[in-house]
Amino acid sequence: MTAIDDSPVRDPAALRAYMVRALRDQDAITTEPVAAAFAAVPRHRFAPEAPLDVVYDLHRIVPVKKDEHDLHTSVMSAPHLQAVMLEQADIEAGMNVLEIGSGGVNAAYLQELVGSDGVVTTVDIDRDIVDRARRCLDDAGYGQVKTVLADGETGVPEGAPYDRIIVTAAAWDIPPSWIRGLMENGRLVVPLTVRGTTRSIAFGRDGDGLVSHSYRLAHFVPMQGEGAAKERKALLRDGVVVQTDDERVPLNTKALDHALDSPRREFWSGAAYDMPDELEWYLTLHLSSPARLHASEDVIASGLVDASARLGVPALVSGDSIAYRTRRENEDTGGFESGVVAHGPQAEALADEYLRLLRQWAQNHRRRGAATIRFLPGPAPSVLPQNTVLKRHGIVAVSWH
């Protein structure tokens, strides 16, 4: 819900001013240069076909292109997410910036931030999108932004090294070209998908690798081309999907669907549930057979699957059983207690493993604050260290202090 919806104003300049104020109020904009960029760019010129109230709504995307399955392949991202990522990028005047995934409007914000002495290049894999971005940029007075048609997996080496690289499609991995293409003290802001959850992570260079400054949950269209995620998905029934990118996980559609028909069993940990995103990092790093369970509103309303699966929840999957996290109010202490819902013949064993992790998290990690994420490029070690996830181009390592 945004303040815009309540506003009677329908003039683009007024809507824009309103948007900037609301983005500040919600702490999406925290610095003056980003506020100035959002105030300067005529956002509606980058989506001339969309209603003004949609274009200036803080949390709404504008659809641009869909594939044959009716899934978005390109959208104009919502202002709130764009502002958060531009703040994460910490851009200064005069910088050389690469955006991977075009649309036009974000490149215009970038051009405002780097000023007339800076350079912005935006690359997209889809010719329609590049052409559209070019037209909109020229129309709105941002002719100096360079547009390139290419698979962003290879970066745009002609313009490297970059002070900043901002990726605006969900990346499953970090290809060598992005690290190579960064200045020594450069920054990469990338919506990185780790075990099915995407977070916009601001990374700085750390020798040959990367170390995080900050991260925020984010939702993006998936990266296409060479770097596309290789995930397996099982549609158990209408509105229930289990997905995984981990080769160890057995995804037996029939058996898991059958498990859902078996009685639902609940197990309670006695441990507090809070800091959901930190807990999610911990669970996905430690579950022995990790997947993600998604359920539609209808399925949740029917009571078959818990509301925790609305946006996807870490699940522990065996050949014929599934367990996932839930929560309930804790009347004694206030707040919530974490628990597990499990179905299938191995419900109890899966719940035991899950509960152990929920308790370990509450005892050892909950008070340690945000995690630090490292990307260590190179071939996989023969034994994967603790708290790491294997990618094609390196490993993601997560630590708490």
Q: How far is the CB of 378 from ligand SAM (least distance, A)?
A: 22
Q: How far is the CB of 365 from ligand SAM (least distance, A)?
A: 33
> Judged by CB under 6 A, does residue 295 bind ligand SAM?
no
β-strands 119-124, 96-100 pairing:
parallel
> Judged by CB under 6 A, does residue 223 bind ligand SAM?
yes
Q: How far is the CB of 191 from ligand SAM (least distance, A)?
A: 9
Q: How far is the CB of 225 from ligand SAM (least distance, A)?
A: 4
> Judged by CB under 6 A, does residue 111 bind ligand SAM?
no
Distance CA 168, CA 202 (A): 12
Residue with tokens 């013949």: 345
Amino acid at 352: D
Which region among 7-15, 104-112, 293-301, 370-378 touches ligand SAM (by CB under 6 A)? 104-112
> Judged by CB under 6 A, does residue 221 bind ligand SAM?
yes
Given the residues 7, 74, 77, 318, the one annotated as active site: 77
Among 2, 88, 96, 106, binds ligand SAM (CB under 6 A): 106
Are the CB atoms for 96 and 107 separated by under 8 Å? no
Which region among 25-33, 96-104, 313-321, 339-347 touches ligand SAM (by CB under 6 A)? 96-104
Helices vs. strands in the chain: H and E counts, helices first = 11, 19
Contact letters (x/-) for ligand SAM, 166-185, by CB under 6 A? --xx----------------
β-strands 265-273, 290-295 pairing:
unpaired
Among 29, 50, 95, 105, binds ligand SAM (CB under 6 A): 105
Nearest to 322 by CA among 257, 233, 244: 257
Which region among 4-12, 150-158, 243-251, 256-264 touches ligand SAM (by CB under 6 A)? 150-158
Backbone phi and psi for residue 34, each to the nearest 5 degrees, phi listed first: -70, -40
> Judged by CB under 6 A, does residue 224 bind ligand SAM?
yes
> Judged by CB under 6 A, does residue 41 bind ligand SAM?
no
Neighbours of 177 (CB within 10 A): 18
Distance CA 65, CA 56 (A): 19
> Judged by CB under 6 A, does residue 75 bind ligand SAM?
yes
- For ligand SAM, the closer of residues 55 and 223 by Cβ is 223
Among 37, 125, 397, 398, binds ligand SAM (CB under 6 A): 125
DSSP class of 77: P
Binding-site size, ligand SAM (CB under 6 A):
28
Distance CA 170, CA 192 (A): 6
Q: Annotated catalytic, 77?
A: yes
Q: Under the phi-then-psi rule, with left for phi > 0, alpha for psi from -120 to 50, and beta for the rest, what region is 115?
A: left
Q: How far is the CB of 148 from ligand SAM (least distance, A)?
A: 9
Nearest to 292 by CA among 230, 240, 252: 240
Among 19, 34, 47, 73, binds ligand SAM (CB under 6 A): 73
Are the CB atoms for 317 and 283 separated by under 8 Å? no
DSSP 307-361: GGGTT-EEEEE-SS-EEEEEEEE-TTTSSEEEEEEEESTTHHHHHHHHHHHHHHI
Among 77, 193, 198, 289, binds ligand SAM (CB under 6 A): 77
> Judged by CB under 6 A, does residue 151 bind ligand SAM?
yes
> Judged by CB under 6 A, does residue 153 bind ligand SAM?
yes
Catalytically active residues are 77
Contacting residues toward ligand SAM, per CB under 6 A: 73-77, 100-106, 123-126, 129, 151-153, 168-169, 220-221, 223-225, 227
